[in-house]
Amino acid sequence: MEANHFYRLMCRIRFFEELVLEKFPSGVFVGTTHTYLGQEANAVGVVAHLRAEDIIFSNHRGHGHFLAFGGDPRALFAELMGKRSGVCGGRGGSQHLHWRNFYSNGVQGGIVPIATGMAFAEKIKRSGGIAVAFLGDGTLGEGVIYEAFNMASKWNIPVLYVVENNRIAQTTPIELTLAGTIAGRFQAFGIAGEELETCDVLDVYQAAGRWVAQVRETQSPAALILHTYRFGPHSKGDDTRPAEEVARLWEVFDPLKVFSRRLSAQERAAIEAEERERIQQAFEAALRDEYPLPSELGRLGENVLVPTSSSLMSGDILTLGPSFNEGRKQASGAAGGGKGIGENGVTVVHSLNRALRRALAENERVYLIGQDLLDPYGGAFKVTQGCSTEFPNRVIPTPISEAGLVGIAAGMAMRGLLPVAEIMFGDFLTLIADQVINHIAKFRWTYGEAVKVPLVIRTPVGGGRGYGPTHSQSLEKLYLGVPGIHVVAVTHFGSPQDLLLHALWQDEDPVILIEHKSLYPLPLFEASDPDFEREVDWTALGYPVYTLRLRGAPPPILSLIAYGYAAELARKAMLQLAYREEIFCELVVPTQLNPCESKKLLESVRRTGRAIVIEEGTLTLGWGAEVLARLAEQALPSLLRVARIATADCPIPASPPLEKAVLPSVEAIVQKAIDIL
């Protein structure tokens, strides 16, 4: 490769990322972005050695890798905008890209075993291809990568692990979270490698050439550790480093400055002008491109429903998913529709923050544990802001190790402390599933009530911000059928502060607290709201259930049942139905999702005879399906009689007679058939 081409590619990456940061405040891009500023030499130097049959698996900071691989800047801009012409048709956003043999994903750590498996498949097929997995220093906290290292070494898998050590995770310096050395981690698994401290693309190119060739020749793994610097924030605006430190990085370690000394002023100016024009034209072209239509969602969008006023009256029970656009407008600050909503000015995020501060102040057994909780950042959604300043010894920053930090928190709880663990995005609830399902939820019952795990796991969920497939999900239904774990959803129709404190101080079982991201900026409901009146009831565990009705309206003929942010969408729908269609509803908002308690839901449906269940989790086998099954069993016997048989809501006992009692049986089926007939 000609030396000038190195500079051209680095300029392409640099100008692309600068334009992204410049234009993001204008709203043309969706979700978030993690720029590659300062690390351009790494992508260009490594990717230059790869062949068409080779695979790249990148991470959340993957724009530079994509462009170095030959990706189209226009398609990348369009993907960041959510346009039809995007790399993935607007479905993936900044972090989720696939083009030819290039892949990226926003979940830290999880890409490493996937890339390793891809390389294993190429070895089995004898294609000659290898895989390159890019990972950052922060990802070294994820346990799953060490499982991948072990198998790669044991099975001689041709994969090159490229660690870009930019010396800081989101806001936490590596010195606070990393024990030992980076190289030592690979050495422990017998994986050969090299460390390189440089910002010169030619140095990276030469080192990468040696290791790509070795992986290809030996068909075994290797590691290239590039000590580097990122000049921009982790994402759009979360840089807590001093300005003078960042300025020094630009001055001393800029790979473009280092390489430009090899070029004449004329060559440098010509390349820069061409690449700036290329990027500007790509951006303007992407701006003109169209957004995809709902009909283009493909097979996974087949159950998207668009309700009409007539459909509301055509059936007794309907299940709908909330509108993406409604959630998006609310998240961006659109009017809520109720004059009395939030006149006191306290928002959901403020209320949760007050709860944590109060808990820390009033009980020295309370600890906060999670990623990037320290001030001045204060967590990804600022729920913990100020806590580490007031209570520096009881706010514990962790590496990106969701399963590990939840396991540590569970042990703390079992030994008498009251930990609150934060999972940065609800999508990462998948990473803690083994800890929750096979350990935390079972300990109390399995150990004969001799131990308790008073642990609260907080996590933001939901879409409406354009974060894409791995940062927008509502996955709480994965835990709704698990005995021993309580799942509770925050709402702005009550006090999030009281809800969190009840979970922490009064609930003796572990709690997963679901906080929809679009709720955070919303003000709390006021009893003086001119449009709505509110009733409050309580579950057996002490969690509130809210029922809202329009003031002065005729008796409701339809029950809306929703939790979290979907309940806010339902509140808006109530107003439209009343004023436009003269259809009067009441809204039931439970906060306790598991165990499912249906008393207030049943009372409402018996009054109205009709129900719509709204949730943001996916339609099939969701919370709404459970609610409707209970309504069908208990609320409408004259219209519909159904029954279900399943294992009892209890861990499977070892004792044979107890095991027989909780499992389905022929006798149970016969008796249930007699009962319903």
At 334, which CATH number?
3.40.50.920
Q: Does the pLDDT of residue 251 top 60, yes or no?
A: yes
Q: What is the pLDDT of residues 92-138, one digit of tens each?
A: 999 999 999 999 998 889 999 999 999 999 999 999 999 999 999 99
Confidence of residue 516 (pLDDT cuts 50, 70, 90): very high
Both 32 and 136 in a single domain? yes
> Residue 459: what pLDDT?
98
Both 175 and 228 in a single domain? yes
Both 231 and 326 in a single domain? no
Both 106 and 210 in a single domain? yes
Q: Answer whether residue 592 is part of any domain.
A: yes
Q: Answer whether residue 258 is part of any domain.
A: yes
Non-local (6+) Cβ contacts of 121 within 8 A are: none
Max mean pLDDT range (353-362, 520-529, 574-583): 353-362
E strands, 150-246, where?
159-165, 192-197, 222-227
> Residue 345: what pLDDT?
78
Both 484 and 548 in a single domain? no
192-197 and 222-227 strand pairing: parallel
Domain span at 384: 348-519
Task: Determine which helix (DSSP H) or strand (DSSP E) holds 418, and give its type and residue range.
Answer: strand 418-422
End of a domain among 619, 634, 649?
Answer: 634
Both 201 and 73 in a single domain? yes
Task: Enter the pTM of the model.
Answer: 0.84
Both 325 and 434 in a single domain? no
Pair 385, 379: CB distance under 8 Å: yes
DSSP helix/strand/coil, 42: helix
Query: Distance between CA 628 and CA 52 in Å, rounded?
Result: 52
Q: Answer whether residue 212 is part of any domain.
A: yes
Both 15 and 119 in a single domain? yes
Q: Answer whether residue 91 is part of any domain.
A: yes
Confidence of residue 254 (pLDDT cuts 50, 70, 90): very high
Q: Answer whether residue 360 is part of any domain.
A: yes
> Residue 609: what pLDDT?
83
Q: What is the pLDDT of residues 317-352, one digit of tens each?
A: 444 444 323 333 333 333 233 333 333 679 999 999
Q: Answer whether residue 662 is part of any domain.
A: no
Q: Answer whether residue 295 is part of any domain.
A: no
96 is catalytic: no
CATH number at residue 369: 3.40.50.970
Q: What is the pLDDT of residues 538-558, one digit of tens each?
A: 999 999 999 999 999 999 988
Catalytic hit among 60, 234, 350, 471? 471
Percentage of the chain lying above the pLDDT 90 cut = 71
Both 360 and 334 in a single domain? no
Query: Distance between CA 645 and CA 259 in Å, rounded?
Result: 70
E strands, 470-543, where?
486-489, 511-516, 532-538
Both 323 and 383 in a single domain? no
Structure tokens at 564: 């979290």
Q: Does the pLDDT of residue 191 top 80, yes or no?
A: yes
More confident residue, 671 or 177: 177
End of a domain among 502, 519, 536?
Answer: 519
Query: Distance between CA 470 and CA 221 in Å, rounded?
Result: 28
Pair 548, 492: CB distance under 8 Å: no
Pair 457, 403: CB distance under 8 Å: no
Specify the length of the chain in residues: 677
In the chain, the number of structural domains is 3
Q: Answer whether residue 672 is part of any domain.
A: no
Both 572 and 427 in a single domain? no
Both 78 and 98 in a single domain? yes
**C-alpha separations of 523 from 212, 271, 493 in Å:** 55, 52, 9
Q: Does the pLDDT of residue 535 top 60, yes or no?
A: yes
Out of 103-112, 449-458, 511-520, pick the least confident.
103-112
Pair 486, 441: CB distance under 8 Å: no
Pair 530, 337: CB distance under 8 Å: no
Mean pLDDT of 60-69: 97
More confident residue, 296 or 514: 514
From the list 104, 99, 90, 87, the residue with the least C-alpha distance to 28 is: 90
